[in-house]
Amino acid sequence: MKNRISSHSDNEAIHNEKENIPSNTSGNRPFSDVLKVNQTRRNVLVGSLATAATTFIAPKAFAFGWPQDKPSHKYPGKKGLVGFEPLSIEDAIIDNTVPSIASEYQYQVLIPWGTPIEPGATEAYDGNPFTRPTSEQACRQIGIGHDGMWFFPHRGRHRFDRYGFYYSNRKGMLCINHEFGRNNHVLGKDAPESLEDVRLSQNVHGVSVVALKSNYNGQWRVVKSPNSRRITVNTPVEFSGPAAKSKLLQNPNGNTALGTVNNCGSGPTPWGTYLTCEENFNGYFGATEGEIFNDSRTEEQLRYGFDFDGFNYGWEFFDKRFDLSDPDYINESNRFGWVVEIDPHDGTQKPVKRTALGRFKHEAIAIAESSTGQIAAYMGDDQRFDYCYKYVSDKPWKQAIKEGKSPLDEGRLFVARFDDDGTGEWLELTINNPILAERFYDQGELLIYARIAADLLGATPMDRPEWTTIGKDGEIYWTLTNNSNRTEPNAANPEAPNNDGHIIRMKDDYLGTYFKWEIFILASSTRETEGVFTDPDAAYADPFGRLFIGTDGGQPDGLQDQLVVFDTTAENPEPKRLLTGVNSDEITGYTVTPDFRTAFINIQHPGNGNPESTNFPAPTDGVTIPRDCTLVITRKDGGIIGS
Ligand code: FEO
Ligand code: CA
Ligand code: CA
Ligand code: CA
C-alpha cells in the first residue's frame, strides 16, 4: 500500500508525541523572524559567504581517527563529484518492505539488532515474534535503534615506510549508538511487568563498540576483539569538567554514576575517540506519584521536559533511579543529557561525560580544528525552538593531551544568536557574565542547566537543530529538521509551519564570537522535483565537497526516508537520491572507510517494529519482527561513494 500523501509523521514524534511540546518559554525572538529578512538576501549571501572564506581561519583537519585532510584518493570519482544516476521516485516506491538503492550501488546488511558480539556472545536474536533475548543476552548483542556511528579503522605500520602508518579499509572498530526501542518492539508488550523486562529495555539502549572485518569480496562481518563491548544504561561512567563535582550530580543515597541513554547522533574526535550524544533522556524518567509530581515541577524540570509518565517506558516502576518521585535519587536525571566520550580501542575504559559541553538534548557533534590546534565543536539541541551551541577548547588539543588533560574539559561554551543580516554572534555561557551569575551559583550549575542560561542570553530559537558536519572548506552545515509549531515565518525559517525543514551553512571564526550564515537549502524548494526530500536530520560532509543527508519524517510522493547527496560546490545544489529505506523507518548515521569507497548507514526503527509493515532485514514473511540494522554501501565499480 503506497502512501502518496506526505504525512510528515515524524518518527521521533511517534517515539514521543510530547516532544511536539516546546519547553522554551523564554520569549526569545524566534529564528523564523530572522530568516524572513535573510531569506530575501539569499543570493547575495551565497556570494558573500563564498568570498568571505579568506577572512576565516582555515581548518587544518576535519577529523578523525584517520587523516581525512589527506585522503589517499584526491580523485573525486569517475563521474564527477555527484555524478551517479539517482534513484527515481518510481523505482524507489516499487517495494517499500525492502530498501531501494541507485543502480550503480549495492548494499549488504550488517549487525541487525540481536547480533552477538564477541567475545562472550550468546545466541543471536533473529526477530522471532514468539521470543525475545534475555537481559543478560542483550548485554552481549548489538542493541536496537541504530543511529550515529563512526568507523575507526585499524591502524598499522606501513609496509614500505617504517615511519608511516596505514589505515585499513577492511578492518576496524565500529562505534554505534542505540538510540531507542519502544516497549512494543523490544518487549512485545506496552509496559514492563518486571525488573527483568526493564533490564532488557535498558540493555538494548546505549552504544555498541564492535570489531568488523571484510573479506576480499567486500563482505563485512563481526570479528572477535578484546575491545568489543556493549555500553548500556547500567554501565559505570564518570564525569569530568567543570560540573563533575557538582552536588547536583550527587544523590542522597550516594549511588555511583551509571549509564548512557537515548544516544542519538555522534562525532569522532581528532585524537581518535568517539563522542555519543544523549538526546531525549527526559522520556526515560517517570514519577510513581503521578500527577502530584507534575504539579510540583521545578523550572529546571519543566525546561528539560520531565513529566510523570515520560515516554511510557515504565522503568520507574521497577528501577528507582528513574523515579522522579524518589527523594533518594533526586539528581539522577541531571546525570543525563551529556556528550559522552568512549575510547574505541580500550574495552576497559569508563565512558566519560564531558560536562564542559553543557547539558541539553544533544543531537550530534562535529569538531573542527583551527590553525592554532584548538578545537571548535558544533552541537544542536533538538527541540522545537531550541538552540545551536559551540564549544572552543582553551588549548591546542595536542598540548592538552600532552599535559594529561582532555581538550573537552577546559574550554568555553557558546550559544548562537542569528542576526537578520546573515551574521551572528556566539554568546558565552559563563558565570563571569553578571546576568548568569545572578541566576547560577557556579559554572557547574550553569552547565547542568545550560538551556536556561542560553534563554537568559537571548539565543535564537531554532527549528529543531539536528546534526552538524564540517564541509570541505571548513564551513559548518546545520540540519533543521522541521517545526510544526512555528506560527510566524521569518528569515532562517521562512516557513510557518516549517513542515519540510532546511539546512543552514555557517562560516565561523572557530575561536571567536562572530559568524556568517546562509540558507543552504529549503527542503520545500525540492517539492515538485525528482529529487524531492524533506526533514533533513543526519549529515556528513566529505572532504571533496559532497554532503550526505539522511532524512527522518514522512517523505512526499510515497517515498520512504532517504539518503540524498549534494554537491556543495555547485551554484544551486540539488539533492540526488542514493537510497530509500523501508516503511516507517529512518535513515541515519553515516560513516566511511578511509578510502571513501565503503559507506555505512543505518535503517532505524524499520516498520516501527510492526511485522505487518516490513520484516526487514529478514525475508518478507509477515511475522518476523523487523530489526534495526546497518547497511554497507559500495559502488558496483568500486568507486568513491557519492560519485
Ligand atoms: Fe534523535 Fe533529533 O534525533
Ligand atoms: Ca531517531
Ligand atoms: Ca536525529
Ligand atoms: Ca529527527
Q: What is the pLDDT of residues 324-340, one digit of tens each?
A: 999 999 999 999 999 99
Is pLDDT at 38 greater than 80 in this prediction?
Answer: no
Is pLDDT at 2 greater than 70 in this prediction?
Answer: no
Residue 380 Cα: closest atom of ligand 1: 2
Placement of cell 517517570 in the chain: 286
For residue 383, the CA-to-ligand 4 centroid distance in Å is 10
For residue 267, the CA-to-ligand 4 centroid distance in Å is 17
Considering the entire predicted model, what is its pTM?
0.93
Neighbours of ion ligand 3 (CB under 5 A): 466, 537
Q: Which tens digit of pLDDT belongs to each residue from 544-566?
A: 999 999 999 999 999 999 999 99
Using alpha carbons only, what angle is made at residue 606 by residues 600 and 607, rounded to the nearest 5 degrees? 165
- What 8-state DSSP symbol labels residue 345? T
For residue 363, the CA-to-ligand 1 centroid distance in Å is 6
For residue 480, the CA-to-ligand 3 centroid distance in Å is 10
Mean pLDDT of the chain: 90
- What 8-state DSSP symbol labels residue 518? E
Residue 363 Cα: closest atom of ligand 1: 2
Query: 382 CB less than 6 Å from ligand 1?
Result: yes
Rounded to a whole number of angstroms, the CA Rg of the chain reads: 23
Residue 464 Cα: closest atom of ligand 1: 2
* Region 572-579 average pLDDT: 97
Q: Could you tell me which residues are beta bridge partners of residue 465?
A: 480
Residue 481 Cα: closest atom of ligand 1: 2
Query: 179 CB less than 6 Å from ligand 1?
Result: yes
Pick from 450, 445, 480: which is nearest to 465 by CA?
A: 480
Poorest-pLDDT segment among 38-42, 86-90, 159-163, 598-602: 38-42
pLDDT at 20: 60
pLDDT at 66: 54
pLDDT at 165: 72
Interatomic CA distance for residues 536 and 499, integer angstroms: 11
pLDDT at 491: 78
Interatomic CA distance for residues 71 and 84, integer angstroms: 21
pLDDT at 433: 98
pLDDT at 31: 57
Query: 264 CB less than 6 Å from ligand 1?
Result: yes
* Region 611-630 average pLDDT: 98
For residue 589, the CA-to-ligand 2 centroid distance in Å is 10
For residue 589, the CA-to-ligand 3 centroid distance in Å is 9
Tally Cβ neighbours within 10 Å of residue 290.
Answer: 12
What pLDDT band is residue 260 in, cutting at 50, 70 and 90? very high
Interatomic CA distance for residues 195 and 96, integer angstroms: 37
Q: How many residues make up the chain in this entry?
A: 643
Query: 445 CB less than 6 Å from ligand 1?
Result: no
Q: Which domains does the chain have, with CATH numbers?
A: 9-279+337-635 (2.120.10.30)
Stated as kind and residue range, the H or E segment containing 293 is helix 291-295
Poorest-pLDDT segment among 68-82, 376-390, 555-569: 68-82
Is pLDDT at 62 greater than 90 in this prediction?
Answer: no
**493, 455 in Cβ contact below 8 A?**
no
Q: Which tens digit of pLDDT belongs to each residue from 5-28?
A: 344 444 544 455 566 678 888 877
Q: Which tens digit of pLDDT belongs to each residue from 95-120?
A: 999 999 999 999 999 999 999 997 77
What pLDDT band is residue 624 in, cutting at 50, 70 and 90? very high
Number of alpha helices (DSSP H) and beta strands (DSSP E) in the chain: 13, 30
Ligand nearest to the CA of 262: 1
412: cell is 568555553
